[in-house]
Structures are given as C-alpha cells and as structure tokens.
Amino acid sequence: MTTLARSFKRAAGVGLLPVLLALIGLVALAGAVSFLIAWSVGGEVRDAVWFFSLMTVALMFGWGVDQLMDGAA
C-alpha cells in the first residue's frame, strides 16, 4: 500500500465530525481575515470575496498537506 493510500485510510478512521469542524473553522478564519484585509485597505465587497477565495484555498491546501504528512509519519 502506498503512503498516500495509508494516509487516506488513517484519516478516514478519524471520523467525520472533527474533519467537518476543522473545515468550518478554516473557512470561518479565512472569511474573517479576508474581510479584515479588504476593510483595512478600504476595499469593496468584491475585494473581500476575492481575498476570501484566496485565503480559503491557501488554508485548505495547507491543512490537506498537513493531514497527509501526519498520515505518512
């Protein structure tokens, strides 16, 4: 079994609720940071949505890489 397959198998045993709560927390954090950035620079809602999208993708990618690295260890 490859390392990637083992990490997914291990992550599947964690349970769905902690994973969902972590994802919701990351999205909320990305939203808060993006709106603060857009508000601080005097941007509009469009800018806040753009920052939100970037922050969400970055946090999700980082979280996914962290989960894979934890599973590979």
pLDDT digits (tens, 9 = 90+) for 25-41: 777 777 777 777 777 77
Q: Count the domains in the chain.
A: 1
Among 35, 27, 32, 37, which Cα is nearest to 58's?
27
| 9 found inside a domain | no
Residue 35 within any structural domain of the chain: yes
In percent, the amount of the chain with pLDDT more than 70 equals 67
Any domain includes 46: yes
Query: Is residue 2 situated within a structural domain?
Result: no
- Inform me whether the pLDDT recorded for 60 exceeds 60: yes
- Does 1 score more than 50 pLDDT? no
Distance between CA atoms of residues 26 and 56, nearest Å: 7
61 is a domain residue: yes
In a domain, 1, yes or no: no
Q: Is residue 59 part of a domain?
A: yes
Assess whether pLDDT exceeds 60 at residue 64. yes
What pLDDT does residue 41 have? 76
Contact (CB, 8 A) for 58 and 33: no
Cβ proximity of 51 and 32 under 8 Å: no
Question: Which pLDDT does position 69 carry in this prediction?
Answer: 73
Q: Which domain covers residue 41, as residue numbers?
A: 15-72
